């Protein structure tokens, strides 16, 4: 099970390392296992109108973790936080939601419905950007290393991959239309990690893609992971650089990369060159991936960095195999 603890801690660290004092990030939402996060609450750095909230304030009521449902997920909500119109409309302050949630594995429609509910929730917290983990829809291919994913001509692997392809996202088929409508309805931008069944590649190749939907509900970029990592290459194809672009949200120029791409100097540099000052790194989960690179990117680029992971539990996968 991936641990989101370091992701939150790393984000806080990066905020303290940022060299631009005129712009501030306000973290108001994080979805993750509550018991794993609360221990790190005193180390979080939150900002209110440019002033850092001290740990004592956070512990006394400015930040509170609330259980979201019975699945083990929870969200960080700011209670008694003065989100007045001046603060929410200040272009130099960007409120972001970090949605570290589990998919309804191998179920595109149900996972997208869940994502939409978190978009609505983030909007109620007055977020202007909400970020989800890598390959969240319809889920990361965890089965490969546990079921002999490279076994030649395996009926089991053929069956799983066939279902994976059926459940993959194809924007041209309208799979993201409702999510785009939710973005437009709420005036919020979205970064969503998904498995894309690319129509312009014959509809047979799958890509690990990071989709950016702007506040008007329009898909502005679909970045296909340049090179899948390890066994990911058994199911995901190699992407290209067409999606390496940044997007303007208020005073911020936002860009994003998938997982191991964040370790690629030239991929990062391509975003830096476009004026990126908020970097979004999405991951399937695991603090071993994010502990060092999140902070390093912040120091290298002199920008804010948000690392957002997905969540996968044993019972999520077994539900699929027992269907």
Catalytic residues: 134, 225, 259
Instruction: Please answer whether residues 196 and 209 qualify as being in contact, where contact means their C-beta atoms are separated by less than 8 angstroms.
Output: yes
Instruction: Please answer whether residues 221 and 211 qualify as being in contact, where contact means their C-beta atoms are separated by less than 8 angstroms.
Output: yes
Q: Which of 282, 242, 279, 239 is nearest to 101 (CA)?
A: 282
Those residues whose C-beta lies under 8 Å from the C-beta of residue 307, and which sit 6 or more positions away, are 6, 7, 10, 11, 281, 282, 283, 290, 293, 294
Q: Which of 149, 141, 157 is nearest to 105 (CA)?
A: 141
E strand spans, the chain: 24-32, 46-48, 51-53, 64-67, 74-77, 93-99, 129-132, 189-197, 206-213, 219-224, 247-249, 252-258, 278-283, 304-309
From the number of C-beta atoms within 10 Å of its C-beta (0-12, 13-18, 19+), residue 300 rates as middle
Q: Which of 323, 310, 316 is nearest to 2 (CA)?
A: 310
Buried b (16+ CB within 10 A) or exposed e, 213-225: bbbebebebbbbb
Those residues whose C-beta lies under 8 Å from the C-beta of residue 164, and which sit 6 or more positions away, are 106, 138, 141, 195, 206, 235
Instruction: Write phi, then psi, for 235 (nearest 5 degrees).
Output: -125, -20
């Amino acid at each position: 099970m991936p641990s989101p603890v370091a992701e939150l801690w790393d984000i806080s660290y990066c905020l303290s390392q940022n060299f631009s004092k005129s712009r501030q990030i306000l973290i108001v939402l994080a979805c993750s296992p509550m018991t794993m996060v609360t221990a790190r609450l005193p180390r979080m750095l939150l900002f209110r109108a440019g002033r850092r909230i001290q740990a004592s304030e956070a512990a006394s009521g400015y930040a509170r973790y609330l259980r979201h449902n019975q699945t083990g997920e929870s969200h960080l909500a700011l209670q008694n936080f003065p989100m007045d119109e001046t603060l929410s409309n200040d272009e130099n302050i960007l409120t972001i939601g970090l949605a570290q949630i589990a998919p309804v594995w191998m179920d595109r429609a149900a996972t997208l419905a869940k994502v939409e509910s978190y978009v609505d929730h983030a909007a109620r917290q007055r977020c202007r950007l909400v970020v989800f983990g890598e390959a969240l829809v319809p889920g990361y291919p965890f089965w490969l290393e546990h079921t002999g994913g490279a076994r030649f001509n395996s009926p089991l692997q053929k069956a799983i991959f066939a279902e994976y392809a059926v459940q993959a996202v194809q924007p041209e088929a309208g799979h993201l239309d409702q999510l785009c409508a939710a973005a437009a309805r709420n005036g919020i931008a979205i970064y969503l990690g998904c498995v894309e069944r690319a129509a312009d590649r014959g509809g047979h190749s799958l890509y690990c893609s990071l989709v950016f939907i702007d506040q008007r509900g329009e898909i502005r970029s679909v970045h296909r992971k340049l090179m899948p990592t390890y066994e990911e290459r058994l199911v995901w194809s190699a992407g290209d650089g067409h999606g390496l672009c940044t997007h303007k949200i208020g005073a911020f120029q936002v860009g994003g990369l998938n997982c191991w791409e964040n370790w690629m100097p030239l991929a990062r540099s391509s975003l830096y060159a476009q004026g990126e000052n908020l970097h979004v790194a999405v991951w399937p989960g695991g603090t071993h991936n994010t502990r060092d690179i999140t902070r390093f990117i912040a120091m290298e680029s002199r920008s804010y960095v948000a690392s957002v992971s997905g969540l996968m539990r044993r019972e999520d996968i077994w539900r699929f195999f027992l269907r």
